[in-house]
């Protein structure tokens, strides 16, 4: 396993991050524990979850999967912002009251006394960024959090946060987690250059576009069983990418999944795509990307399917409300 620095921190993380969003949904505790063990055995050391995933169940299952002396081997990331109580108007958001309470609750569910990377799950324009940063800085100074990051922020929002951190002498964000994959490359315009310039790790979520890039969809055929996408809604541009991806992967002797992840891992500025497998079998298919080499011809081919900075599917938005997560 070739590890990569988490932005400018010096912390080393695996080039694929195990996402735990399925824990408590499609994945039960037994399978989740097997997945974590398999990931660690393969050399992975980076796991990402969030308090809002199954309303805390994902964090609880992640904590149990890391019990027995495994916690110290993992760079553990979670997030706050999402609504955790339907009857409490303050049980969500980026304000101090929520972040302090949410962090303590996440620590308890995860069964740990510190979080390696604590991320703000979505921006919230109604809360001043200094309010958020002061709360996060206090969590770091209290020893509850090691580093802080963002998710699905626009480039200007990241830049604003960096400027305010510098102005007020606060700990700054070290990572950003945007949607990024073969069907939406818009982060290449401003966000990734910004992260490269200021030393932020880039941790793409939905690197397989919600399963679109796995090869299971075929033009003219219905949706596969248990799929969450309707192929009838795919654009002509999306079909062109999917069919080109299928042919390219076949020529390299790998799956579309492995090629898509390998391409993303090889993109400038990318630190660690977050893989959202729901079983050990799916996880192993994702890990096969580690053995796929992306060369100059592959990059040129992909740029012909979908030009840099463009998209055929709309994933990259920085204005999601509190309940819209993938």
The DSSP string of 69-122 is: TTGGG-EEEEEE-S---TT-TTSSSSSHHHHHHHHHHHHHHHT-S-EEEEEESS
Pair 30, 61: CB distance under 8 Å: no
Are β-strands 12-13 and 75-80 bridged in parallel, bridged antiparallel, or unpaired? Answer: unpaired
Distance CA 274, CA 117 (A): 14
Q: Distance from CA of residue 273 to its chain's centroid?
A: 6
Give 276's contacts (C-beta < 8 A, 6+ positions apart): 19, 21, 22, 205, 206, 208
Q: 153 catalytic, yes or no?
A: no
Q: Which of 53, 153, 180, 325 is catalytic?
A: 53
- Cα-Cα-Cα-Cα dihedral of 5, 6, 12, 16, to 10°? -100
Tell me which long-range contacts 191-194 makes (C-beta under 8 A, separation of at least 24).
191/154, 191/155, 191/158, 192/267, 192/268, 192/269, 192/270, 193/269, 194/155, 194/158, 194/159
Residue 159 burial (10 A CB sphere; 0-12, 13-18, 19+): middle
Residue 234 DSSP label: -
Distance CA 141, CA 52 (A): 25
Residue 20 — φ and ψ, nearest 5°? -105, 20
CA end-to-end distance (rounded Å), the chain: 28
Give 312's contacts (C-beta < 8 A, 6+ positions apart): 183, 184, 235, 237, 238, 240, 241, 306
**Which residues are part of the catalytic machinery?**
53
């Amino acid at each position: 396993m070739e590890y990569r620095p988490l932005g400018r921190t010096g912390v080393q993380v695996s080039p694929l991050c195990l996402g735990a969003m399925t824990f408590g949904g499609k994945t039960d505790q037994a399978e989740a524990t097997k997945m974590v063990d398999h990931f660690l055995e393969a050399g992975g050391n980076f796991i990402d979850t969030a308090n809002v995933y199954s309303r805390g169940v994902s964090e609880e299952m992640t904590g149990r999967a890391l019990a027995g002396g495994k916690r110290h081997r993992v760079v553990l990331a979670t997030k706050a912002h999402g609504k955790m109580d339907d009857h409490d108007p303050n049980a969500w958001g980026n304000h101090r009251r929520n972040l302090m309470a949410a962090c303590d609750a996440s620590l308890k569910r995860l069964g740990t006394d510190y979080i390696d990377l604590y991320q703000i799950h979505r921006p919230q324009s109604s809360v001043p960024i200094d309010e958020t940063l002061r709360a996060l800085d206090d969590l770091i100074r209290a020893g509850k959090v090691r580093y802080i990051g963002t998710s699905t922020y626009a480039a200007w929002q990241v830049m604003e946060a960096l400027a305010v951190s510098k102005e007020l002498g606060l700990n700054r964000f070290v990572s950003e987690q945007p949607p990024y994959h073969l069907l939406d490359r818009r982060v290449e315009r401003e966000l990734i250059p910004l992260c490269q310039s200021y030393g932020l790790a880039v941790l793409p979520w939905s690197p397989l576009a919600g399963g679109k890039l796995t090869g299971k969809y075929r033009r003219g055929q219905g949706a596969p069983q248990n799929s969450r996408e309707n192929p009838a809604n795919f654009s002509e541009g999306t079909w062109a990418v999917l069919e080109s991806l299928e042919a390219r992967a076949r020529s390299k002797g790998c799956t579309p999944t492995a090629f898509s992840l390998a391409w993303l891992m090889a993109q400038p500025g990318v630190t660690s795509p977050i893989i959202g497998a729901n079983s050990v079998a799916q996880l192993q298919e994702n890990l096969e990307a580690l053995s796929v080499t992306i060369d100059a011809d592959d990059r040129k081919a992909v740029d012909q399917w979908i030009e840099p900075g463009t998209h055929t599917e709309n994933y990259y938005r920085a204005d999601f409300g509190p309940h819209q997560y993938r």
